């Protein structure tokens, strides 16, 4: 096929994946994008999209063809200036990425972070006990937000003051991967002071001596990183480490409230906790999308993508691809959900995933002990974001065990 024919015959969609309509209920749109082809041209933005599991996984695995250094949002850093200095791990390719990743791999490995378990468990116990006593509460404001906002910054070694800047910053970061739409502009309304506060917390002097943040600075002392690079990796902790788990925990509560028989099964079989969180990540992915940029012409299932083109990878659509999953639209805590794309895969696969699991498993362990039923007492209210999927409000009741 000549490239002209490829252009003429390529699947095209006029869909806007960053519109309120799409973000409020992405699943019918994911279906349409998967069915349109292995790659689909989104004419509204002049970008490619992939929504099938096979192509999303292959693109994430092939970092040489699908690079991150031009940004992992819609914006091409080679064509327009990024809103903040690029992340030296997320928005970097080898060899820079190899060096920064090695440091965070070490600090965040399951073996290294298991010392956090005791504190995470204790904080989960206190919080859940209080909510069971209260019975009715907001699953977002009273659980999904305060828990990660307490345990993760504590683990990093951040001082207590000013933490109210963390969620607004995450909101900026994750909306910034989309277009400059209303969501982006509203997130950026107070960008200056929020960004300044974040940066003030990224230096050695701001960090406790025994936390994950200072461990990054130990890599300066050993000659692996420069002082500035260490600060930038602390910024990555504060960018990626909070909203993701807030939305993940909120989606966990939502799934369990909406599927009472699944909750009953989990209560009777706490060994299912780990798999249940994986299933939440598959079924209601807190991180929906990331972009890559092509570094060469590439054939994707018979469709020709050019060099230097943005590719939108629908992690959440891959997670419900019927080519990969049986009953993909069914929430089932007993299924083998590993292989979902919510943590990505390949060299950029989520480096903090063991911390995320530790947080959610600490909460779920308390819930199975103390909560007989999780009931929705009102309509959940979504919080739209160009990258994340989750809730503003989740009115819940915990029926004590
Ligand atoms: C995975 C992720 C999300 C957002 C920000 C970053 C990483 C970062 O490195 O700044």
Cα–Cα distance, 324 to 338 (Å, whole number): 12
Q: Phi and psi of 271, rounded to 5°?
A: -65, -15
Give the whole-angstrom CA distance, residue 342 versus residue 364.
19
Q: What is the C-alpha to C-alpha distance for residues 383 and 186, in angstroms, rounded to an integer?
A: 13
| Secondary structure (3-state) at 304 | strand
Please check the confidence at residue 6 and state whether its pLDDT lies above 90.
Answer: no
Measured at the alpha carbon of residue 215, what is the angle toward residues 212 and 217, in degrees to the nearest 5?
A: 125
Alpha helices in 344-384 (DSSP H): 353-370
CA-closest residue to ligand 1 atom 2: 240
Range of the domain at 69: 3-400
User: pLDDT tens digit string along 186-239?
Assistant: 999 999 999 999 999 999 999 999 999 999 999 999 999 999 999 999 999 999
Given the DSSP bridges, would you call strands 381-384 and 389-393 parallel, antiparallel or unpaired?
Answer: antiparallel
User: Which ligand 1 atom sits closest to the C-alpha of 88?
Assistant: 9
- Does position 2 have pLDDT exceeding 90, yes or no? no
E strand or H helix that includes residue 292: strand 289-294
Q: Give the residue among 111, 92, 174, 177 at the shortest CA–CA distance from 348.
A: 92
* 252 CA from centroid of ligand 1 (Å): 22
Is the pLDDT at 8 greater than 90? The verdict is no
pLDDT for 9 equals 83
Residues of the chain above pLDDT 90, percent: 98
- Rounded to the nearest angstrom, the distance between the alpha carbon of 90 and the centre of ligand 1 is 5
Give residues with Cβ within 8 angstroms of 242, minimum separation 6: 148, 149, 152, 153, 166, 167, 170
pLDDT score of 356 more than 80 = yes
CA distance 69 to 92: 4
125 SS3 class = helix
Residue 124 has pLDDT above 70, yes or no: yes
For residue range 251-290, what is the model confidence (pLDDT) as tens digits?
A: 999 999 999 999 999 999 999 999 999 999 999 999 999 9
Q: Under a CB-based contact definition with an 8 Å cutoff, are residues 311 and 235 in contact?
A: no
Question: Nearest 10 degrees: CA dihedral of 293, 297, 298, 299?
Answer: 130
Q: Is the pLDDT of residue 3 over 70?
A: no
Q: Provide the number of structural domains found in the chain.
A: 1
Atom of ligand 1 lying closest to residue 350 CA: 1
Query: Which residue from 176, 177, 216, 240 has its CB within 8 A of the most atoms of ligand 1, so it is best to mutate?
Result: 240
Supply the residue whose CA is at minimum distance from atom 1 of ligand 1. 240
Higher pLDDT, 120 or 2: 120
User: Looking at residues 331-359, what average pLDDT do you find?
Assistant: 98
Over residues 111-123, the mean pLDDT reads 97
Average pLDDT, the chain: 97
Cα separation, 11 vs 31, whole angstroms? 14
Q: Which helix (H) or strand (E) holds 200?
A: helix 191-200
Whether residue 388 has its Cβ less than 6 Å from ligand 1? no
Q: Is the pLDDT of residue 4 over 60?
A: no
pLDDT of residue 21: 98
Would you state the pLDDT for residue 59? 99
Tell me the CATH number at 280. Answer: 1.10.630.10
CA 161/CA 135 separation, integer angstroms:
30
**pLDDT tens digits, residue range 290-330?**
999 999 999 999 999 999 999 999 999 999 999 999 999 99
**Per-residue model confidence (pLDDT) at position 207:** 98
Q: Is the pLDDT of residue 5 over 90?
A: no
Whether pTM exceeds 0.85: yes
């Amino acid at each position: 096929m000549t490239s002209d024919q490829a252009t003429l015959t390529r699947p095209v969609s006029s869909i806007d994946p960053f519109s309120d309509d799409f973000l409020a209920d992405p699943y019918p749109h994911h279906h349409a994008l998967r069915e349109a082809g292995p790659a689909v041209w989104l004419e509204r933005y002049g970008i490619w999209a992939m929504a099938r599991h096979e192509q999303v996984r292959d693109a994430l695995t092939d970092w040489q063809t699908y690079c991150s250094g031009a940004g992992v949002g819609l914006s091409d850093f080679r064509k327009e200036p990024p809103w903040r200095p690029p992340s030296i791990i997320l928005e970097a390719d080898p060899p820079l990425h190899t060096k920064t990743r090695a440091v965070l791999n070490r600090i965040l490995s399951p073996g290294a972070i298991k010392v956090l378990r005791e504190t995470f468990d204790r904080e989960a116990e206190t919080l859940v006990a209080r909510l069971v006593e209260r019975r009715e509460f907001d699953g977002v404001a009273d659980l999904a937000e305060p828990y990660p906002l307490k345990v993760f910054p504590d683990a990093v070694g951040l001082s207590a003051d000013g933490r109210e800047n963390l969620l607004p910053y995450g909101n900026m970061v994750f909306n910034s991967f989309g277009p400059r739409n209303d969501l982006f502009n509203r997130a950026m309304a107070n960008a200056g002071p929020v960004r300044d506060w974040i940066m003030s917390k990224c230096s050695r002097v701001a960090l406790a001596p025994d936390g994950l943040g200072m461990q990054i600075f130990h890599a300066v002392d050993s000659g692996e990183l420069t002082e500035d690079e260490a600060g930038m990796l602390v910024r990555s902790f504060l960018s990626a480490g909070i909203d993701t788990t807030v939305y993940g925990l909120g989606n966990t509560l939502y799934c369990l409230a909406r599927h009472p028989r699944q909750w009953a099964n989990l209560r009777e079989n706490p060994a299912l906790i780990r798999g249940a969180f994986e299933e939440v990540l598959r079924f209601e992915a807190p991180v929906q999308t990331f972009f890559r940029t092509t570094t060469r012409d590439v054939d994707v299932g018979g469709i020709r993508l050019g060099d230097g083109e943005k590719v939108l990878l629908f992690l959440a659509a891959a997670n419900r691809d019927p080519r990969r999953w049986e009953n993909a639209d069914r929430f089932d805590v007993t299924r083998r959900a590993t292989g979902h794309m919510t943590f990505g895969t390949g060299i950029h696969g989520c480096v903090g995933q063991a911390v995320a699991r530790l947080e959610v498993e600490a909460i779920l362990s308390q819930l199975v002990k103390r909560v007989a039923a999780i009931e929705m007492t009102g309509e959940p209210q979504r919080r739209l974001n160009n990258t994340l999927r989750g809730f503003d409000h989740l009115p819940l009741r915990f029926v004590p065990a």
